[in-house]
Amino acid sequence: MKVRGYVAAAAVSALLAGGIAVLAPGAGASATPLNSGAMSDEGFAIRGADNAVRSIIPDEENTSSVSGTSASVSMESTDRIILSADARVFLLQDQDGGVLLSSANPTLEQGAETVPAKFVVEDGHLIVTPVEHSPNLARAACASSFWGNLIFNIGMAGVCAMLGIATAGPGGVACTMAVIGANLGIDWDRPC
């Protein structure tokens, strides 16, 4: 199914969750929703002139270092992603330079307002983030909880060893039991 750019622009608009960007296949490429019933949830596949299929599938969770909405990009090793200097124009090209997919001037909905956004490519993920982008707070919180858990265990190791030395063993063992209880009971991932 060959789809011309202007038709596809309407067909694949709002494919990424939140209606963030209009992605248009280039001339000679075709776009197919992976699930026509839930296009925005399932993403879509693009068949290029070389007959190879690329796909863009929205991620359930943005695990990248920047905030916004992310999608996994599956493409051929010879394909190239080109971003404009201001990162507001995205092009996916095949090895011959043919445009498989293009998108420009994405926006993000933040509450009631729509803010201008830009593209970021990170580890095979295409992320649409506000132009004034901020770090991914969820990921930062996860990192803090990891370090919190680590420092807690280092500190408690010192406390338990000192108690063990002071009480010739039993105090250290009791302290260690308390640490095990804390490790099992504290939900360190809650901030994530």
Partner 1 sequence: MCRFRTLLSGRVDWNPRQVGRLVRLLWSLTVLGTLVGFLVQALVGARDWSGVSTDMIPVFLGATLGYGLLWLGSVIAVKRREYPPE
Binding positions for partner 1, rule: CB under 8 A: 146-147, 149-158, 160-162, 164-165, 168-170, 172-173, 176-177, 179-180, 183-184, 188-189
Q: Which is nearer to partner 1, 27 or 173 (CB)?
A: 173
Q: Which is nearer to partner 1, 10 or 151 (CB)?
A: 151
Q: Which is nearer to partner 1, 34 or 156 (CB)?
A: 156
Q: How far is the CB of 90 from partner 1 (least distance, A)?
A: 33
Q: How far is the CB of 159 from partner 1 (least distance, A)?
A: 9
The token pair that represents 118 in the structure block: 């830009």
Q: How far is the CB of 163 from partner 1 (least distance, A)?
A: 9
Distance CA 64, CA 62 (A): 6
Q: Which is nearer to partner 1, 115 or 150 (CB)?
A: 150
Longest dimension (CA), the chain: 80
* C-alpha dihedral sign at 35, 40, 41, 45: positive
Q: How far is the CB of 188 from partner 1 (least distance, A)?
A: 8
Q: Which is nearer to partner 1, 134 or 147 (CB)?
A: 147
Ramachandran class of 169: left when φ > 0, alpha when ψ lies in -120 to 50, beta otherwise: left
Q: How far is the CB of 54 from partner 1 (least distance, A)?
A: 29
Distance CA 114, CA 148 (A): 36
Distance CA 147, CA 125 (A): 26
Of 146, 165, 147, 167, the closest CA to residue 157 belongs to 165
